[in-house]
Chain A
Amino acid sequence: MAEETTTPAIQLPDATKLVVSNSPHIRGNETISKVMVQVLLALLPAAIAAVWFFGLAALKVMVLCTVGCIAVEEIWNKCTKRATTWKDGSAAITGLLLAMNLSSGTPWWICILGCLLAIILGKQLFGGLGFNPFNPALVARVALLIGFPSLMTSWVAPTPGNLTVCDAMTGATPLGAQGEAVASLADLFSGNVGGCLGETSALALLLGGAFLIVRKLIKWQVPAAFIGTVVVISGLVHAINPEITQTPIYHVLAGGLLIGAFFMATDMVTSPMTAKGALIFGCGCGLITSVIRIWGGYPEGVSFSILFMNALTPLIDRYTIGKPFGYIRVKKEAA
C-alpha cells in the first residue's frame, strides 16, 4: 500500500552537480559583442547622414563593406580551421568603418579589396581580434590610398535628401584647396559637403562620439587630446598667418578629424590602455595630423597619424605604467 504523503521533504543541492571554480563567482554582463554592438549603434547617426547626403549609393558601399568584412573573416576562419568569430561584431565594425572612409562613388571591387586588406592584412595575419597592432579599417584605407590615389580622392558632391543619386560627380574636398574655404561652416557641420561617407556630418559624428563617451566605450582622453592638439596648432598657425591654413574650427569640422578622433583612434585594441597613455596617444595623433595637413603633401593626415601612433602604442603602454596603490611609503597625514 502506498504511504501517506507527509510534508514534502526539504530538498538539498546535489553536491555532485556543484561546480568548483575560481572567484569571482559572479560577473558583470558585459561581453565583447555587447561592446561592439554599442559601437555600431554609435556609428548609426553617421550612417544615416551618409545616406541622406549621398543617397542609396552610400548604403550600397556600407552594406558591401560590412557584409564583405564579415564574409572575409568567416572564409578565413574556415580556411584556417578557426572558430567562427563574426558574432563578436568586430568584423562588422571594421567593415562599417572602412565604408565610412570611402566615397559613395567607390566601385564595388575596391570595397571588396578593402575588406580583404582590412580583415586579412590588418587583422587575421596578426592573430585576429586583440592582436592586431593597427586599426584594420585604416590599414585598408591607407593601402587603397597608395594603390589607387586618384580613385580614392575623387569625391561625390552631396545631394541632400535625394536618395536615388548614384552617379559620381567629382567635387573638391574641403581640405583640398589650401587656405581656401570651399564649404561654409554650417554645411561642414551638417555634412553637406563632398567627402568620405563618414567624414562629412560633424553633427552625426559628435552624437555618436558623445554616446561612446557616455557609455564609457572609449576613453574621452583620446578624442579630447586629438582634437585639442589640432585646434591649438592650427589656431596658432592661423593666428600667425591666415594664408597658410584655415581656422581651427574649419580644421575640426572638415575632413576626417572627427571620425578619426572618435571612432578610429579610440579603437581599443590599437590604442593605449591607461588614461595617461590615451592622452599621449591623442596628442601624438593631433600633432601628426596638423603637421601633415598644414605642411605635408596630403590634404588629410588623420589616417596616417593614427596608424603611426598605433605603432607606438606598445611603447606608450610600457612607459605610462603608473605607480600602484601603496607604492609610496606611508604618506604624511593631513592635519
Chain B
Amino acid sequence: MSDKPRKFKGGVHPNDSKALSAAKAVQDAPLLDSYNVIVHQNIGAPPEVIVKKGDTVKKGDLLAKASGFVSVPLHAPTSGTVSALEKCPGPTCISVPSITITADGEDAWGDCMEPISDWQNADPAALKQRVADAGIVGMGGAGFPSHVKLSPNKPIDTLILNGAECEPYLTADHRLMLEEAEKVVLGAAILARILGLNGATIGVENNKPDAIEELNKIAGKYNVKVQGLRVNYPQGAEKQLIYALTGREVPIGGLPMDAGCVVQNVASAAAVTDAVINGRPLIERITTVTGEPLVNPGNWRFRLGTPISKALELAGGIKTQPAKLLLGGPMMGFAQNSLDVTVMKNTSGILLIPVETASQYTSEPCIRCGRCVEVCPMDILPATISQAVENERFDWSAQLNVMACIECGSCSYVCPSHRPLNQHFKRAKAEIAAARRKEQKK
C-alpha cells in the first residue's frame, strides 16, 4: 500500500460547521422512562420480534432475532417491560413497527454474552459470530450488517476503518476516536483477526488532528496504521476512501471486496470491541445533536429508541424554528417531519438546519456551466443525466452510468441553477432497477 493518500477526482468543500460540537465531550444521556425501539435498523431483512406485550426484559436481552444472513438481532436498551408493539414514525417519514420498553429504572444487564477476552487466540469464526450476535451494523449511516462484510467471497488483503467523517456538522466519530481511541484500534485489530489479516488502516480526515494523535498513541501496538486524509467531501464515501488509501478503484456496481478491501466504520469497530471484550450487544451509540438553531449543541451517548425530542431537549432546545430536522449530515441525511422518530444504530447525527441555509430554491434551466461535472467524484455527467431523466429517458441515463452515482449530492451542492440533480438520479436508479427486475422475471 502506498504511503501517500491519493486524491480522488472532484468533491466539494462545504462549510463544515463542525465547531458547533467538535469540542463537546460525549455525555451519557440520562435514563428515560421509556424507549421506542424501531425494529428494522439494518439494511437487509428486518429481524423477527420475539417479545410480546407485557414481557419483562433486562438490558441487552434479545428483542428480535436475525431473520436471515443479511439481518441482525436487536437488543433491549434498558431493563423494563415491553409495553407496546406498535407503529411509530420511521426515518423515512413512514410509520414503522417498533417495540416500546417502559424502563424499570434499574437499568440492569441481563445474561450477557460471554466476554472473549483472549481474542488474540480465539477462533475467527467465533469472533465473527459474536459480531453478528451483537447486532452490529455500519454506524456511519448505511446500517449494513457488519458480519456480512466480514464474510467476503473474494480474497481480501486490506481492512480499512472509516473515520473520515466528511459530512459537515457531524463530530460523533471525531469524539469517539478522541475519547475512546483504544476501543477503536482494538476493534480494528479484532476485525483484522476475523479477516485473517495482519493489521488495518484507519482513515481520518486531516481536520481532526487530535483524534489522529490519540489513535496513533496506541495504533502501533496492534499493527494498525492511522492515515490522515485530505479534507474534501465525500472523502468518507467507501469507494473514494478505498481509492485514497490503496489507489484501487472499486468497479462500478461492485463492492469493496472486489478491490480486496473491507471497510468498517470506526463506531462499528468500537462496538465490536464492546461485543467481544465486554460481551455487550449494540444498544447505544454516540450521536451529534447540532445545528445553529440549538441552544447547546453537543455529542451524547444515546440508547437506541431515544426519541429525537429528548435529544433536542438535552441540547437545550431551540432558539429559532429550524427549516429542517435531519437524521444524518446535511449532504446525505434524511429530513424528518416528526420529533418522535427515535435514535437508531445508524443515527450519526440529529441536525437542525436554520431557515437561512436550508436549500429551498426553485430550479432553473441548466446553463451547462459544467460545475457538476467537475465535482462529481464518480466522474459521470450529472447535467446530461439530469436532462435524460427530465425527458424520461431512463435507458439513456443508464448508458450515462447513472447507476454509478453514489448520491453524494456534490453536484446539487454546486449547481448555480439549483437543479434537483440528486433527486433525478434517485428516481432514475429506482426506475432502472425496477426495469431490470421486470426483465429478470421474464
Contact = CB atoms under 8 A, between A and B. Distances in A.
Interface string B401-434: 1001001010011111110101100100000000
Contacts of A322: 379
A34 B369 CA distance: 13
A324 B406 CA distance: 12
B50 interface: no
Given A25-B324, A25-B330, A326 B367 contact: no
B373 A274 contact: yes
B332 A24 contact: yes
Interface string B229-252: 000000000010001001111111
Interface string B110-143: 0000000000000000000000000000000000
B313 interface: yes
B324 A324 contact: no
Given A129-B367, A130-B368, A269-B367, A18 B336 contact: yes
A30 interface: yes
A12 B317 CA distance: 5
Interface stretch (B145-153, B172-180, B200-208, B355-363): B355-363
A143 B270 CA distance: 70
Given A18-B325, A273-B370, A35 B416 contact: yes
A15 to B, nearest CB: 5
Nearest to B417: A32
Nearest to B399: A321
8 contacts: A13-B352, A15-B338, A23-B333, A24-B330, A27-B418, A268-B368, A321-B400, A328-B249
Contacts of B103: none
Interface residues of A, number: 51
Interface of A: 10-28, 30-32, 34-35, 88, 90, 128-131, 219, 268-271, 273-274, 317, 321-331, 333-334
A30 B243 CA distance: 29
Contacts of A269: 367-368
Interface in B365-389: 365-371, 373, 377-381, 383-384
B300 interface: no
A130 B366 contact: yes
Interface stretch (B8-16, B19-27, B276-284): B8-16
A323 B371 CA distance: 18
Given A130-B368, A274-B381, A324-B401, A30 B247 contact: no
A13 B339 CA distance: 8
Q: Is the interface of B mostly helix, strand, loop or mixed?
A: loop
B249 A330 contact: yes
Contact of A12 (B313, B359, B416): B313
A24 B416 contact: no
A222 B97 CA distance: 57
Nearest to A323: B379
Interface stretch (B34-42, B53-61, B254-262): B254-262
Given A10-B316, A321-B381, A25 B333 contact: yes
B95 interface: no
Interface string B319-335: 10111111000111111
Most chain B C-beta atoms within 10 Å of own C-beta, residue among A20, A26, A274, A330:
A26
A329 B335 CA distance: 36
Nearest to B242: A326
A18 B293 CA distance: 13
Contacts of A321: 381, 384, 400
Contact of A25 (B1, B335, B378, B383): B335
A333 B367 CA distance: 40
B379 A325 contact: yes
